[in-house]
Structure 1
């Protein structure tokens, strides 16, 4: 599948599963995604007034967490799925965060913002779905200020047995069937394990962070390695 076909397919996947996305996240992560996000927020240590852009923001749970931590800093959520953004906007309105958080339909490969704009650029469970993950990370690095953070929370690849075998059986066989039962979508949830096959493991993704020039790169395996958090800092010289 070429990059354009992948982009179109992934877009159709997320538009179709948007109404049940939060429920399926529970199934996908063994209900651990909220704990992973809390861990990430502790490591980010967002100060009051910090600005952020959250790519592939989906239904905006992480976007909202960042906004609450920042208290009054501008936070932008960007996603290519209008269905996801509509659900996220309803959450933001309910929490009365619409004066602080703005949502934008856009492409993570080409961010419509100037260099050195944000204190944080984040992406949660979206990097494995983009056509070119290196390009997205470079864009994230470009739009953060010198000293800013590029943060990725993503599914990863467990390495120790027997957990590895159990996890892959669940991910590749059970999860698509749950998708069929719960949201009447089999092919869409078969895509999710397929998307992880070519995705770099925790160490390789850390290397990519360093290769594009990010510094002080830290990688944290989560829940036996089924997810990983990566944080890198943009150099104060802008590189």
Structure 2
């Protein structure tokens, strides 16, 4: 069941890849770039770090991480959509960071990396599309080095009484309409708004992080709660032995 679901979602992202960046700008009114900059500002990353950007899509966050690295550092961008990765590679080349970026096709729930490999793992707007979120978080925990951090930037759900109805109207009515108007892909963007509406709350996501073993879990909310960045740290070896 999970494999079939993942195959269907992969097909969806293959389809929307050519319009993905433009539609992100339209749907978020450009604010997704601000969310990522604000999130990046809170990440302490050594210039020689080994980083992994999961569900990297067209590579914006991968490139942002690469810009903070020296050539001796590396960021791997992993995604299951070949068309997304093709666009990402073009953007990596244009950004002149190909010497520290490796793009790879793969499944975020079954990572093809050794235990304790990365100083940082990021996942932006991808966790909600994975059928088994605890499995994905367990895999991220496995490949992180002790003391290293997971950073998840994701759409979220406002809980303010006056804001929530507006947010629900926007995602249920306006987002699919934009998909039809600007990309001729009503069904695809109808699905994406459903994943946004039905994703766990920011508080529930804290619980999923903690269940996976992450410590010092905290979050920052954006745009009255329309998005949230969650941070969690894999315990250091000293903490693990306490």
TM-score, normalisation: structure 2: 0.95
Q: Distance in 1 between matches of 2:135 and 2:197?
A: 19
Provide the secondary structure at the position in 2 that maps to 1:162.
Answer: coil
Q: How do 1:173-188 and structure 2 match up within 5 A?
A: 173-188=173-188
- Per mean C-alpha deviation after superposition, the further-off stretch among 118-127 and 197-206 is 197-206
TM-score, normalisation: structure 1: 0.96
Provide the secondary structure at the position in 2 that maps to 1:77.
Answer: strand
Unmatched runs of 5 consecutive residues or more in structure 2: none
Contact 2:69 2:100 in 1 (8 A): no
C-alpha RMSD of matched pairs (Å): 1.2
* Matched residues, number: 238
Q: 2:40 maps to which residue? A: 41
Q: 1:235 maps to which residue? A: 235
Q: Distance in 2 between matches of 1:36 and 1:197?
A: 19
Provide the secondary structure at the position in 2 that maps to 1:115.
Answer: coil
**Can you list the C-alpha shifts for 1:161-214, whole angstroms capped at 9, x where unaligned?**
321111111111111011011111000000011112332100010011111110
Pair 1:220 & 2:220 matched: yes
Measured after TM superposition, the shift of residue 8 of structure 1 is 1.8
Q: Distance in 1 between matches of 2:200 and 2:19?
A: 27
Q: How do 1:188-227 and structure 2 match up within 5 A?
A: 188-227=188-227
Contact 2:219 2:228 in 1 (8 A): yes
Measured after TM superposition, the shift of residue 144 of structure 1 is 0.9
Q: 1:162 maps to which residue? A: 162
Pair 1:8 & 2:7 matched: yes
Q: 2:134 maps to which residue? A: 134
Measured after TM superposition, the shift of residue 76 of structure 1 is 0.2
Q: Distance in 2 between matches of 1:46 and 1:38?
A: 14
Q: 1:98 maps to which residue? A: 98
